[in-house]
Protein backbone atom coordinates (compact mmCIF):
# COMPACT_ATOMS: atom_id res chain seq x y z
CA UNK A 1 0.00 0.00 0.00
CA UNK A 2 2.83 2.39 0.87
CA UNK A 3 4.57 1.64 -2.42
CA UNK A 4 1.43 2.52 -4.36
CA UNK A 5 1.20 5.91 -2.61
CA UNK A 6 4.94 6.71 -2.82
CA UNK A 7 5.20 6.27 -6.58
CA UNK A 8 2.65 8.98 -7.49
CA UNK A 9 4.16 11.36 -4.91
CA UNK A 10 7.60 10.85 -6.41
CA UNK A 11 6.28 11.62 -9.88
CA UNK A 12 4.61 14.79 -8.61
CA UNK A 13 7.84 15.95 -6.92
CA UNK A 14 9.84 15.29 -10.09
CA UNK A 15 7.29 17.25 -12.15
CA UNK A 16 7.46 20.19 -9.71
CA UNK A 17 11.26 20.18 -9.85
CA UNK A 18 11.14 20.22 -13.66
CA UNK A 19 8.76 23.21 -13.61
CA UNK A 20 11.03 25.09 -11.20
CA UNK A 21 14.06 24.39 -13.42
CA UNK A 22 12.15 25.72 -16.44
CA UNK A 23 11.16 28.89 -14.55
CA UNK A 24 14.75 29.49 -13.43
CA UNK A 25 16.01 28.98 -16.97
CA UNK A 26 13.39 31.38 -18.35
CA UNK A 27 14.29 34.05 -15.76
CA UNK A 28 17.98 33.72 -16.58
CA UNK A 29 17.30 34.07 -20.29
CA UNK A 30 15.17 37.16 -19.70
CA UNK A 31 17.87 38.71 -17.52
CA UNK A 32 20.51 37.97 -20.17
CA UNK A 33 18.36 39.58 -22.87
CA UNK A 34 17.82 42.63 -20.67
CA UNK A 35 21.56 43.03 -20.04
CA UNK A 36 22.28 42.70 -23.76
CA UNK A 37 19.65 45.31 -24.64
CA UNK A 38 20.98 47.70 -21.96
CA UNK A 39 24.54 47.30 -23.29
CA UNK A 40 23.30 47.97 -26.83
CA UNK A 41 21.51 51.11 -25.63
CA UNK A 42 24.71 52.41 -23.99
CA UNK A 43 26.71 51.72 -27.17
CA UNK A 44 24.10 53.43 -29.37
CA UNK A 45 24.05 56.43 -27.03
CA UNK A 46 27.83 56.82 -27.08
CA UNK A 47 27.95 56.52 -30.87
CA UNK A 48 25.30 59.24 -31.21
CA UNK A 49 27.19 61.53 -28.81
CA UNK A 50 30.44 61.12 -30.72
CA UNK A 51 28.85 61.57 -34.14
CA UNK A 52 26.52 64.54 -33.55
CA UNK A 53 27.65 66.56 -30.53
CA UNK A 54 29.16 69.96 -31.29
CA UNK A 55 32.79 70.63 -30.29
CA UNK A 56 33.43 66.97 -29.42
CA UNK A 57 36.84 65.46 -30.24
CA UNK A 58 38.06 61.86 -30.67
CA UNK A 59 39.56 62.08 -27.18
CA UNK A 60 36.17 62.66 -25.49
CA UNK A 61 35.62 60.65 -22.31
CA UNK A 62 32.47 59.41 -20.56
CA UNK A 63 32.03 58.62 -16.89
CA UNK A 64 29.26 57.62 -14.46
CA UNK A 65 27.21 56.05 -17.26
CA UNK A 66 24.09 54.25 -15.94
CA UNK A 67 21.24 52.81 -18.00
CA UNK A 68 17.63 52.76 -16.75
CA UNK A 69 14.68 50.82 -18.20
CA UNK A 70 11.78 53.21 -18.93
CA UNK A 71 8.11 52.73 -18.06
CA UNK A 72 7.02 52.59 -21.72
CA UNK A 73 10.02 50.54 -22.86
CA UNK A 74 13.39 51.60 -24.13
CA UNK A 75 16.19 52.99 -21.99
CA UNK A 76 17.52 56.26 -20.58
CA UNK A 77 21.32 56.36 -20.66
CA UNK A 78 22.52 58.91 -18.08
CA UNK A 79 26.07 60.08 -17.39
CA UNK A 80 28.68 62.77 -17.97
CA UNK A 81 30.89 63.56 -20.95
CA UNK A 82 34.15 65.50 -21.26
CA UNK A 83 34.03 66.84 -24.82
CA UNK A 84 37.81 66.90 -25.30
CA UNK A 85 39.10 64.47 -22.71
CA UNK A 86 41.49 67.14 -21.43
CA UNK A 87 42.00 67.24 -17.65
CA UNK A 88 41.27 70.97 -17.46
CA UNK A 89 37.91 70.65 -19.26
CA UNK A 90 34.75 69.83 -17.26
CA UNK A 91 32.48 66.80 -17.46
CA UNK A 92 28.93 67.87 -18.33
CA UNK A 93 25.71 65.85 -17.78
CA UNK A 94 23.92 64.12 -20.64
CA UNK A 95 20.79 61.98 -21.06
CA UNK A 96 20.13 59.82 -24.13
CA UNK A 97 16.63 58.34 -24.47
CA UNK A 98 16.81 55.20 -26.63
CA UNK A 99 13.57 53.84 -28.12
CA UNK A 100 12.59 50.17 -27.56
CA UNK A 101 13.62 49.22 -31.11
CA UNK A 102 16.92 51.17 -30.90
CA UNK A 103 15.83 53.10 -34.00
CA UNK A 104 15.47 56.52 -32.37
CA UNK A 105 17.59 58.41 -29.82
CA UNK A 106 16.66 61.69 -28.15
CA UNK A 107 19.81 63.35 -26.87
CA UNK A 108 20.15 66.04 -24.19
CA UNK A 109 23.56 67.50 -23.28
CA UNK A 110 24.15 70.41 -20.85
CA UNK A 111 26.51 72.24 -23.19
CA UNK A 112 24.70 75.61 -22.82
CA UNK A 113 22.38 77.30 -20.33
CA UNK A 114 19.20 76.43 -22.20
CA UNK A 115 20.33 72.85 -22.84
CA UNK A 116 21.41 72.50 -19.19
CA UNK A 117 17.86 73.32 -18.07
CA UNK A 118 16.32 70.68 -20.36
CA UNK A 119 18.99 68.12 -19.41
CA UNK A 120 18.20 68.72 -15.73
CA UNK A 121 14.50 68.03 -16.38
CA UNK A 122 15.26 64.82 -18.32
CA UNK A 123 17.62 63.67 -15.55
CA UNK A 124 15.04 64.12 -12.80
CA UNK A 125 12.24 62.44 -14.79
CA UNK A 126 14.09 59.60 -16.54
CA UNK A 127 17.27 58.62 -14.71
CA UNK A 128 15.75 55.88 -12.58
CA UNK A 129 14.21 52.47 -13.33
CA UNK A 130 10.66 52.69 -14.75
CA UNK A 131 11.16 56.40 -15.29
CA UNK A 132 9.81 58.64 -18.04
CA UNK A 133 6.17 59.06 -19.13
CA UNK A 134 3.80 56.35 -17.88
CA UNK A 135 1.43 56.69 -20.84
CA UNK A 136 1.64 57.90 -24.42
CA UNK A 137 -0.37 60.97 -23.40
CA UNK A 138 1.90 61.93 -20.53
CA UNK A 139 3.54 65.33 -20.89
CA UNK A 140 6.68 66.25 -18.94
CA UNK A 141 6.40 69.93 -17.84
CA UNK A 142 9.41 72.10 -18.65
CA UNK A 143 10.63 74.99 -16.49
CA UNK A 144 11.29 78.40 -18.06
CA UNK A 145 14.37 78.30 -20.27
CA UNK A 146 16.81 81.22 -19.79
CA UNK A 147 17.61 83.42 -22.78
CA UNK A 148 21.39 83.32 -23.27
CA UNK A 149 21.49 85.65 -26.27
CA UNK A 150 23.26 88.99 -26.00
CA UNK A 151 21.23 91.79 -24.40
CA UNK A 152 19.14 93.58 -27.00
CA UNK A 153 20.09 91.25 -29.88
CA UNK A 154 17.17 90.54 -32.17
CA UNK A 155 14.79 92.52 -29.94
CA UNK A 156 15.07 90.02 -27.08
CA UNK A 157 15.50 90.91 -23.43
CA UNK A 158 17.66 89.24 -20.74
CA UNK A 159 16.01 86.46 -18.69
CA UNK A 160 14.00 87.58 -15.67
CA UNK A 161 14.27 85.80 -12.33
CA UNK A 162 11.44 85.59 -9.78
CA UNK A 163 11.68 88.36 -7.16
CA UNK A 164 10.26 88.58 -3.61
CA UNK A 165 6.67 89.83 -3.40
CA UNK A 166 6.60 93.65 -3.63
CA UNK A 167 5.35 95.72 -0.72
CA UNK A 168 2.07 97.64 -0.86
CA UNK A 169 3.91 100.95 -0.82
CA UNK A 170 6.14 100.15 -3.77
CA UNK A 171 5.72 97.86 -6.76
CA UNK A 172 9.02 97.14 -8.45
CA UNK A 173 9.78 94.96 -11.51
CA UNK A 174 11.58 91.64 -10.90
CA UNK A 175 15.39 91.79 -10.96
CA UNK A 176 17.23 90.97 -14.15
CA UNK A 177 20.47 88.96 -14.33
CA UNK A 178 22.76 89.95 -17.21
CA UNK A 179 24.24 87.07 -19.26
CA UNK A 180 27.78 88.39 -18.85
CA UNK A 181 28.11 91.82 -17.28
CA UNK A 182 30.76 94.11 -18.71
CA UNK A 183 29.63 97.22 -16.78
CA UNK A 184 31.07 98.35 -13.50
CA UNK A 185 29.83 96.80 -10.25
CA UNK A 186 31.10 97.27 -6.72
CA UNK A 187 34.11 95.00 -6.21
CA UNK A 188 33.22 94.47 -2.56
CA UNK A 189 30.49 91.88 -2.10
CA UNK A 190 30.41 90.78 -5.75
CA UNK A 191 31.28 87.45 -7.37
CA UNK A 192 31.37 85.84 -10.80
CA UNK A 193 30.02 82.39 -11.64
CA UNK A 194 32.58 79.84 -12.82
CA UNK A 195 33.60 79.85 -16.48
CA UNK A 196 33.66 76.05 -16.58
CA UNK A 197 29.89 75.49 -16.89
CA UNK A 198 26.47 77.02 -16.12
CA UNK A 199 25.45 77.18 -12.43
CA UNK A 200 22.17 76.32 -10.67
CA UNK A 201 20.53 79.16 -8.71
CA UNK A 202 18.60 77.51 -5.85
CA UNK A 203 15.72 78.59 -3.62
CA UNK A 204 17.55 77.81 -0.35
CA UNK A 205 21.12 77.12 0.83
CA UNK A 206 21.10 73.36 0.37
CA UNK A 207 21.99 70.94 -2.41
CA UNK A 208 18.38 69.77 -2.61
CA UNK A 209 16.89 73.24 -2.97
CA UNK A 210 14.62 73.97 -5.92
CA UNK A 211 16.51 75.21 -8.99
CA UNK A 212 15.10 78.66 -9.84
CA UNK A 213 17.26 79.21 -12.92
CA UNK A 214 20.44 78.07 -14.62
CA UNK A 215 22.82 81.05 -14.56
CA UNK A 216 25.16 81.37 -17.58
CA UNK A 217 28.87 80.91 -16.95
CA UNK A 218 30.84 84.07 -16.14
CA UNK A 219 27.82 86.02 -14.81
CA UNK A 220 28.60 88.84 -12.34
CA UNK A 221 26.40 88.79 -9.21
CA UNK A 222 26.14 90.71 -5.95
CA UNK A 223 26.41 88.86 -2.63
CA UNK A 224 23.74 89.70 -0.03
CA UNK A 225 24.25 87.02 2.63
CA UNK A 226 26.19 83.88 3.54
CA UNK A 227 24.98 80.59 5.06
CA UNK A 228 26.81 77.66 6.70
CA UNK A 229 28.31 75.17 4.29
CA UNK A 230 29.70 77.75 1.87
CA UNK A 231 26.41 79.05 0.38
CA UNK A 232 25.93 82.63 -0.85
CA UNK A 233 22.70 84.52 -1.42
CA UNK A 234 23.11 86.43 -4.68
CA UNK A 235 21.23 88.64 -7.11
CA UNK A 236 21.63 91.97 -8.87
CA UNK A 237 19.63 94.77 -7.24
CA UNK A 238 17.94 92.43 -4.74
CA UNK A 239 18.62 88.90 -3.40
CA UNK A 240 17.20 86.20 -5.68
CA UNK A 241 18.64 82.78 -4.78
CA UNK A 242 21.56 80.75 -3.43
CA UNK A 243 24.73 79.44 -5.11
CA UNK A 244 27.48 77.34 -3.52
CA UNK A 245 30.87 78.99 -3.17
CA UNK A 246 32.57 76.26 -5.23
CA UNK A 247 30.65 77.57 -8.25
CA UNK A 248 31.82 81.17 -7.78
CA UNK A 249 34.96 83.16 -8.44
CA UNK A 250 35.66 86.40 -6.60
Give the span between the Cα atoms of 22 and 118, in whole angstroms: 45
Residue 160 CB coordination number (10 Å): 15
Give the span between the Cα atoms of 211 and 203, in whole angstroms: 6
pLDDT score recorded for residue 70: 94
Q: For every one of its 250 residues, what pLDDT tens digit does the chain have, with 9 covering 90 and above?
A: 555 656 677 677 776 766 667 778 888 888 888 899 999 999 999 999 999 888 899 999 999 999 999 999 999 999 999 999 999 889 999 999 999 998 999 999 998 888 888 899 899 999 999 999 888 776 555 555 444 444 444 444 444 544 555 444 444 444 444 443 333 333 348 899 988 888 888 888 876 778 888 889 889 999 999 888 888 899 988 898 999 888 888 7
pLDDT score recorded for residue 4: 60
Question: Between 2.60.40.3120, 3.40.30.10, 3.40.50.2300, 2.30.30.40, what CATH number should domain 180-249 receive?
Answer: 2.30.30.40
pLDDT score recorded for residue 140: 53
Give the span between the Cα atoms of 128 and 120, in whole angstroms: 13
Give 184: exposed, middle or buried? Use CB within 10 Å, 0-12, 13-18, 19+: exposed
pLDDT score recorded for residue 157: 45
Q: How do the domains of the chain map onto residue ranges?
A: 20-126, 180-249
pLDDT score recorded for residue 211: 84
pLDDT score recorded for residue 60: 94
pLDDT score recorded for residue 141: 53
Amino acid sequence: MRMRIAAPLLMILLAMAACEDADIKREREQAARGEAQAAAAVKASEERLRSTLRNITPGAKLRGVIVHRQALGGYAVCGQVNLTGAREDPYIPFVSVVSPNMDRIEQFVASSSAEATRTYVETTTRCYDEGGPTSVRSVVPLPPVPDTSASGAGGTTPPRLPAPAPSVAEVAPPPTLPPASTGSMPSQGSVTTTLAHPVNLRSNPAGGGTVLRVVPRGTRLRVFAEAPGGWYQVGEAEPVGWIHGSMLER
